Structure 1
Amino acid sequence: MKSHPSPISCSPCCPPQKCGTFLHLLRLARLSNKEEKPYFEQNTAAVLAALRTLENLIDSSMQPLLPLIYANTPKKGLLNQLPPHIKESLKQEALQLIAKDMANQQWLKQALARLHDKGIPVILLKGAAFARYLYPQSAPRIGVDIDLLVKEADFQGACELASELAMEPVVLDDRRLATHDMLFERVFKPKNAATSWIEIHRGLTNPFIFHIEEQHLWSASREHPAYGLDSVRVLSPEDTLLHLAVHAFRDLDFCTHNILDAHEAYCQWKPDNEILLERASHWGAKHVLYYLLSNTKAIMDTPIPLSLLSELRPERPRDLLNKKILRMNLTQDYANKPFGYRFIQLVSQISFPDRPSRGIHFQTHYIGTRIKDWLAS
């Protein structure tokens, strides 16, 4: 009989389905704050059972973590306790992902050099920002795509450059041209499939739900140390955590590798908690930051002070509603969302932002844009 991982201490902001295998492996992928030998000694059987699940079809949510898991497994004394075929499978999967990351980095270096020559500064986002900074080249956290933020005035030029670099634009729906024109990001796919898809942003997220001052993002940003170009930036530690939070809200999922990123950013980059609280208040994103950081503390044992979480936490009725939504394990199938998911999405756009009126404003604007789509079709 196969053994199954025992439940890990879980957060009320996670769906119960994730309180087992996924969280054991997520914790195994950590780089910082690793003085927790008793945890792995007490949970050896559960962690090994979680690792054994990797011999089957690997869940897409786990793939970004495989190089880190492979690098950390021997450090915890677990690798030699695995069957040889699982060790080999884990090794091959990790090496393939590392090779993919190297191809992405090669394309990215070329693109950043071209953007620099054109005088277009860039802020790298998410996986692109964390590569060779939070995570080492030998054990990257693989990004789903490559995200670049440019200023509004440089947006068209950056999109044209992507086309010059063997990328072709993706129009998500030919019947929604007005929506496409209003998007805060443009998506490009490689013509030769050698690299990941590219997303070029002119804003961090939809500009209506949260109040994000783009100028402050740039003034607070700092140079990425891996490229030797002052024009290649990363968000400040505080803005990084806030971006992770608003992106998690967009997916209604605060229990993915985003809590690993939040853990590493908090431990390695050491954000100023007072500045973080101030920025979250200004963005109107205290509540979404609360769900990200409370999950991160509960699952990754990150040294986030309870006083900060107390300042971020929404009032009890909204907190209960939001946690109910987050425990639903909502489908992430963007191609075919059921009516129920749409309804929950509408509710969440009002209940999660600090100021519900911004969610209502977004919904009103969205209706107007869809009318324009209909008129243009």
Structure 2
Amino acid sequence: MDRRRLGLLAVAALAVVLVVGVLVRSATDDESPRPTPPSPSASGTAPPRGTGGSLSSLTSPENEALSRCRPGADALADCGKAPAFSGTTRWFNTPGGRAEPPATQRGKVVLVSFLSYPCASCVRHQPYVNAWYDAYRGAGLQVIGVESPEHDFEKRPANVAAGLAGLDVQHPVVMDPRLETWTAYRNRYWPSSFLLDARGAVRAVQLGEGGYERTERQIRTLLRAARPDVELPSPVSGDVDAPPLPPTSTTPGVRLGWTHADTYAGAPSRPVAGRSEDYRLGADQPTGSWGLGGTWTADTAAVTAEGESRLRVRARSSRVDAVVGGTGTITVSTEEGSRTVEVSGAPGLVGLLRADEARERTVTLEVSAGLRVYAVTYA
């Protein structure tokens, strides 16, 4: 091959490299980074009971000091400056929707509380956060909620506003639709709390439910450190009216949709993606599984009833809830009887079964056409 032809080939190769480089840069520079989403259970991820959980291992210079905080520890630590909020959008419960991130709260003790409003664990957790805000905001506590979506419908401000109202949330909350602030705090769980002192340093981390008396003691310690002459009310955590933590024997919840076929048991053998399909319930429903009967359309994150549609689950629990969107009815049947639940308003958590005894049950839901079911949770 002559020297001229070699030169032409080299120029052509260089052109290909330059074009590929431009395409790669345009794909990454024109959009802000997309964090890797969590892989939650139906009721929100939860650390193993009693372990305290662990932070994400994805670190940056801004958040690597969080490793000095042992989640669930009694003692306060110095875990560095709190990461900045990133990628947040709509604010609620602030004057004129003004942004009020932790960086604007110097001189106050700040509790950054990550939540997903339809998450069953968050529903149990939020009454404690509300009680702390009511009791201590006059003494210098600010609570900032970060609504980090477990479901796509949480990316709509109207749905979030309705969900927060249903939880009686009065403190500021900001939407984190792309989970960028979630990622900045190395979070992995709904709910989670990061406690900041008056200098803006993270001093304690609580991952998942529980630890309420401990978190309140830490809040009181930091408030006294910030204002030595402050008068604090009596502790309030012991008086909070909230649903109890589920026993460790409770069956994990299930997410629905064709991407969650690992927990599906019925015919066809897995949900069909993206089109209306007729389903048949099996002879038995294994514990921890879900099955469909009648006509449904399954997408990546939910199943939508198309007619005479049934959803069946089996679990050990005393409470059964579902994350549902749309307007209609769900008739809940067990060997103990049946009841019909009206569904309307923004998508959210709907209470289906409340029993005195936690035991193994098969629960069949007759779902009216148009209702969209995202998850079934147990407690």
Q: Which of the five TM-score ranges fits, normalised by the shorter chain?
A: under 0.3
TM (norm. structure 2) is 0.27
- Structure with the bigger RCO (C-alpha within 8 Å, sep 6+) is 1
Asked which structure has the greater CA Rg, the reply is 2
TM (norm. structure 1) is 0.27
- Give the number of the structure whose residues are more often strand, by fraction: 2
- Give the number of the structure whose residues are more often helix, by fraction: 1
